Amino acid sequence: MLAALHRMRSSADFQRVRRNGKKVVMAGLIVHVYTGMYPGRATQVGLTVGKDCGNSVQRHRTSRRIRAAIRPVVPKLPPGTGVVVKALPEIHAVVLDSHLITESVLTKMKP
């Protein structure tokens, strides 16, 4: 579970990150990262797991897996960063590796 401090709740924030952030595509996931979205605040993370990822039980399991994989990434991001993680239908066949996610996101953030 992500700390309440790091949870993105506003649909406007989700849209802003998806429109303005940099996109990282990896197996089973699309990660949008928008640095400087929340000046002076903690990093915010939002998850999107659509119906194309399975029934309710499968979607909730997928959400838990993504949260567990993204939890170690959050402290490594600069404060004020907005992150939206979208699960793709093939997420069930993918092993989520937090080190790979961290490297991919941090590499994409470099200018």
Q: Please provide the size of the chain in residues.
A: 111
Residue 111 confidence (pLDDT):
62
Q: Whole-prediction pTM value?
A: 0.89
Per-residue pLDDT reduced to its tens digit, 31-57: 999 998 888 899 999 999 999 999 999
Q: Domains for the chain: give ranges and CATH numbers.
A: 4-109 (3.30.230.10)
Per-residue pLDDT reduced to its tens digit, 63-94: 999 999 899 889 988 999 999 999 999 998 88
